[in-house]
Amino acid sequence: MTDQAQSLRHLVSKKIPARPAPSSKRAAKIITITSGKGGVGKSNFTLNFALKLRSLGRKVLVFDADIGMANIDVLMGVSSRFSLYHVLRQEKSIYDVIQYGPGEIPYIPGGSGIADMISLSEEDLNYFVSQIELVSSEMDYILFDTGAGLSKENMKFITSADQCLVVTTPEPTSITDAYALIKVVHGNSPEVPFALIVNRAGDEAEARQASDKIILTAQRFLNLDIKMLGYVTDDPHVVKSVKHQFPFTLAFPKCEASRDIQRIALRYLAIPAQPESGSLTGIKGFMHRWLKRK
Ligand SMILES: Nc1ncnc2c1ncn2[C@@H]1O[C@H](COP(=O)(O)OP(=O)(O)O)[C@@H](O)[C@H]1O
Ligand SMILES: [Mg+2]
């Protein structure tokens, strides 16, 4: 770890107090962040979006659910001894596994536990469910940073959550893969609501062009409405912060990418809650759907 990163960490841990909760009774909204293609910026987006929501007074838990390339902890410069794996084996409580990174963001490393979750019976999942219910009652949002593409695990996370944020870059391959993912998920579970984030955009026009391709195709061929939540500029500060293992919204709060994340977080919080559709929301709904999905 560099000296600069260390001093930033110190500064930030002092600077950001937990704000008072906007409401005392919580039903955490479960959001998956995914993509068709890998390496598009999901983990950076998840972490920095979580930090912004937190600085706006919301309680957010980040869950690293990427089996192949879990790296939220690397982005935060922390390492974890325990993961979901130990909770599923009932060796640890969820509180033993939660780590705190810069900005006091709590996160759960999925580790090899993610693959195990798929094959657990309802009975085996009970301890995990009781544990996750404990933390979720204290949260406004739980963000699952998943892997890319249509793996079995990814499908389960996406179709069990309350909402799916799809990250794409303006590259044609990333756009095509994002649409392919949306199409398959929608074919299996038409009720999953999607929103788009265009990452690494040159400017707003490029982001708009990329998102329009997906939004218009989905409207035309799937009769599906997808919201464009916003875009994040292609910004060298992001690369710098990855190298320093310190989130860019904390290291460079004024850089373009940080301002974009701020805009996205404000817009996200301004979207009115969906009217009750009759289906279960929050962690109860998540688990209900998780067990139902094959
Ligand atoms: N907005 C951005 N501007 C510049 N580079 C970015 C941006 N977002 C991501 N990157 C680069 O892409 C890499 C992969 O990002 P990451 O969040 O790990 O992707 P994923 O989780 O989708 O695999 C980062 O290490 C960084 O170098
Ligand atoms: Mg990632």
CB 165 within 8 A of CB 34: yes
**Could you tell me the pTM of the whole model?**
0.90
Token duo for residue 35: 């993509």
Length of the chain: 294
| Pocket lining: 271 vs ligand 1, CB cutoff 6 Å | no
Pocket test for ligand 1, best of 242, 249, 255, 261 (most atoms within 8 A of CB): 242
Q: Which candidate, 182, 187, 259, 189, places its Cα nearest to that of 227?
A: 182
Gap between the Cα atoms of 214 and 227, Å rounded: 10
User: Across the chain, where does the E strand assignment appear?
Assistant: 29-35, 60-65, 99-100, 106-109, 141-148, 163-168, 194-201, 227-233
Ligand 2 center to residue 281 CA distance, Å? Answer: 25
Tell me whether strands 29-35 and 141-148 are parallel, antiparallel or unpaired: parallel
Name which residue sits closest to atom 26 of ligand 1, judged by CA: 239
| Pocket lining: 64 vs ligand 1, CB cutoff 6 Å | no
Which atom of ligand 1 is found nearest the CA of 39?
23
* Tens of each residue's pLDDT in the chain, 294 residues: 445 555 545 544 433 333 334 444 567 999 999 999 999 999 999 999 999 999 999 999 999 998 777 689 899 998 888 988 898 888 999 999 999 999 999 999 988 788 888 777 777 778 888 888 888 889 999 999 998 998 888 899 999 999 999 999 999 999 999 999 999 999 999 999 999 999 999 999 999 999 999 999 999 999 999 999 999 999 999 999 999 999 999 999 999 999 999 999 999 999 877 655 667 888 888 888 888 876
Gap between the Cα atoms of 5 and 170, Å rounded: 31
CB 175 within 8 A of CB 168: yes
| Pocket lining: 249 vs ligand 1, CB cutoff 6 Å | no
